[in-house]
Structure 1
Amino acid sequence: MNRGARTPTLEMVAAEAGVSRATVSRVVNGSTSVAPDIIAQVQAAVARLDYVPNRVARSLASRRADVIALIVPESASTVFADPFFAPVVRGVARVLGDTDYTLNLLIASESRPEKTRRYLQGGNVDGALVVSHHAEDHSYVGLGSALPMVFGGRPLIPGLTDRHHVDVDNVDSARRAVAHLLGLGRTRIGTIAGRQDMPAGLDRLVGWREAVAASGAGRASVDLVEFGDFTQDSGAEAAERMLAREPGLDALFVANDQMAAGAMRVLAAHGRRVPDDVAVIGFDDDTFAATLSPPLTTVRQPAMEFGEAMAEVLIALIAGEDVPRRTVIPTSLVRRGSA
């Protein structure tokens, strides 16, 4: 269109195509009741006029916003520092790219939970994905079944524990990691566990405890636990405490790769060689894992596939399909130099 020309309207498209306004509206909104030759005629007129449908009007007519919210209840500094989130977003975006949905990323801390609740209840989105939630998050309580929601990880939020979620089997993955350490002949296997208000932190600790307890009396101790918050610095601090408690430590299972990186830094500072003196296994297989020295043996959590599965489940829910409450993504142990 020429500069200064009027923004094309539905009526202008109808006149250009030689059809009624109602016919143009049906074509624009994807109706299947219009003859193929008429659809082609209208689409050609839309292209010639560079017509863009009014999204607000369409959403009022269809009661759909064509928007999906991806909510991360963390601080912005955490989101942009943690390599787990980027591939999850890519996975969600990849699935939505083949649909009419637009992705809206919300970094929403719990400082103003009512703000998030108002937004979700205000007709702005058709559904929501929630990643990295905590037991004390309250922004989603009270939504009931009014809004389709899918959680990344088993929901711990009271009142929402039965909601649809995509997860990995954190308990079994941790058990298999510890079994690998036991198979290497390690007998003093400690763990640096993650936050206990998050499902990954809880379940990976359970898996470690089960594997250590089943290994036989005297081989390992279920008391060799220190806690971090999934950051590299917290892993380093936890490793310092662990070495002070157990000088004979010969293996560590760490609840994510960032904390494992911090722990390996402390082990080196104390003259403890990895893996000769202390074997180390992390969790995630993110960008930290392959760049450490030695490279980190870790449980691969396929983050992109995680995001894809979340988006697919939510789209099915919005469409009214019957979807299993729990979708499990398989993990694998990636063996590298640290164990």
Structure 2
Amino acid sequence: VVFIDQLASEDFRSLRADMAILFAVPEAAVRRRLAQRIGRLVLLNATAGDCDYIAPDNRLAGRLIAEHLLECGHRSIGGITFDDRDPGSDFRQRLDGCAEVFDAAGAALHLTRISALKFSDARFRRKLVEPMVKAGHSALIGGCDAIAAELCAAVFAAGKRVPADVSIAGFDDQFYTQFMLPALTTVKYPAEAIGIHLAAVTDELLAGRDGHIRKLVPPILVKRASILNLPHRTEGEEE
């Protein structure tokens, strides 16, 4: 296992391999350097036009979340994701998929991009999401479950309730999402299927065949209690 910040090290420059699995989207120049020394590069969890990949269909995942929110009557939606502008990144694809559906329906997606580095520091985490909570949207989307969980905490800190006042959704179906109060609506990525495809392409390579693959694996929408169906509001509840 080699971390991305080790690519320039002496040990890594001497590495030779028939196949490398990249759990990231390194820059195209980095991928080209790797391809000069490694026979086959396979990206996991992301896509790139110049590389094999096995990835969840993140754009479809965004569409599933957006369609569910529209079905529940939401038309003003806020989104927070990490500031990853690479077209093949999972965070970019997820919110692009959401935007496609909302645009087609004439609904508004108000998107904010935040620093992943700052979000990892507890001193900044709440401040990064608070403005979106105060914006008055009926639903909020976190680019991953960790962002969605922080949005839930910020909603409660503001004296509001999820989902009675604000509906919230995330991505990844992390283990803790089912234990949140309320349990979080999110998207599950079939890791087993991704592993099966990776094993198959590895077998092809070992057998002397080309082993090329560009595979998108469909995700699964997990509906839980964090999204309110607006048409079913009882009389007297706030909009």
The TM-score bracket by the shorter chain reads 0.7 to 0.9
Aligned pairs for 1:190-201 (under 5 A) are 190-197=78-85, 199-201=89-91
Counterpart of 1:260 (choices 130, 148, 151) is 148
Cα distance in 2 for residues equivalent to 1:116 and 1:166? 27
Structure ID, larger Rg: 1
- Give 1:285 deviation, angstroms: 0.8
TM-score by length of 2: 0.80
CA 1:165/1:327 → structure 2, altered by over 3 Å: closer, same or farther?
Answer: same
1:136-195 C-alpha deviation (Å, 9 max, x unpaired): 782762524742221113345xxxx32111011111210110110111111211111234
2:139 alignment counterpart: 251
Cα distance in 2 for residues equivalent to 1:145 and 1:119? 9
1:129 aligns with 2:21: yes
2:157 alignment counterpart: 269
Aligned pairs for 1:148-163 (under 5 A) are 148-156=40-48, 161-163=49-51
Q: Among all aligned residue pairs of Structure 1 and Structure 2, give the percentage whose two residues are the same amino acid.
A: 28
2:93 alignment counterpart: 203
Residue 284 of structure 1 contacts residue 302 of structure 1 at CA under 8 Å; is this kept in 2?
Answer: no
- What amino acid maps onto 2:57 in structure 1? D
Residue 189 of structure 2 contacts residue 220 of structure 2 at CA under 8 Å; is this kept in 1?
Answer: yes
- What amino acid maps onto 2:3 in structure 1? A
Cα distance in 2 for residues equivalent to 1:238 and 1:208? 21
Higher strand share: 2
For the residue of structure 2 that corresponds to 1:147, the secondary structure is strand
- Give 1:294 deviation, angstroms: 0.8
1:302 aligns with 2:197: no
- What amino acid maps onto 1:240 in structure 2? E
- Give 1:277 deviation, angstroms: 1.1
1:319 aligns with 2:214: no
Residue 192 of structure 1 contacts residue 228 of structure 1 at CA under 8 Å; is this kept in 2?
Answer: no
For the residue of structure 2 that corresponds to 1:275, the secondary structure is coil
TM-score by length of 1: 0.58
1:49-80 C-alpha deviation (Å, 9 max, x unpaired): xxxxxxxxxxxxxxxxxxxxxxxxxxxxxxxx
Residue 192 of structure 1 contacts residue 235 of structure 1 at CA under 8 Å; is this kept in 2?
Answer: no
2:77 alignment counterpart: 189
Cα distance in 1 for residues equivalent to 2:12 and 2:45? 20
- What amino acid maps onto 2:220 in structure 1? S
CA 1:250/1:235 → structure 2, altered by over 3 Å: closer, same or farther?
Answer: farther
Cα RMSD (Å) of the superposition? 2.7
Unaligned stretches of 5+ residues in structure 2: 228-239
1:227 alignment counterpart: 114
- Give 1:300 deviation, angstroms: 0.6
For the residue of structure 1 that corresponds to 2:153, the secondary structure is helix
1:13-67 C-alpha deviation (Å, 9 max, x unpaired): xxxxxxxxxxxxxxxxxxxxxxxxxxxxxxxxxxxxxxxxxxxxxxxxxxxxxxx
1:169 alignment counterpart: 57
CA 1:154/1:131 → structure 2, altered by over 3 Å: closer, same or farther?
Answer: same
Unaligned stretches of 5+ residues in structure 1: 1-105
- Give 1:112 deviation, angstroms: 4.6
Aligned pairs for 1:1-339 (under 5 A) are 106-110=1-5, 112-115=7-10, 117-121=12-16, 125-135=17-27, 138=30, 141-144=33-36, 146-156=38-48, 161-197=49-85, 199-216=89-106, 219-220=107-108, 222-229=109-116, 233=122, 236-244=126-134, 246=135, 248-339=136-227
For the residue of structure 1 that corresponds to 2:43, the secondary structure is strand
1:224-283 C-alpha deviation (Å, 9 max, x unpaired): 334352966576443213134x1x211112111111111111111112211111111111
CA 1:112/1:324 → structure 2, altered by over 3 Å: closer, same or farther?
Answer: closer
Cα distance in 1 for residues equivalent to 2:100 and 2:25? 25
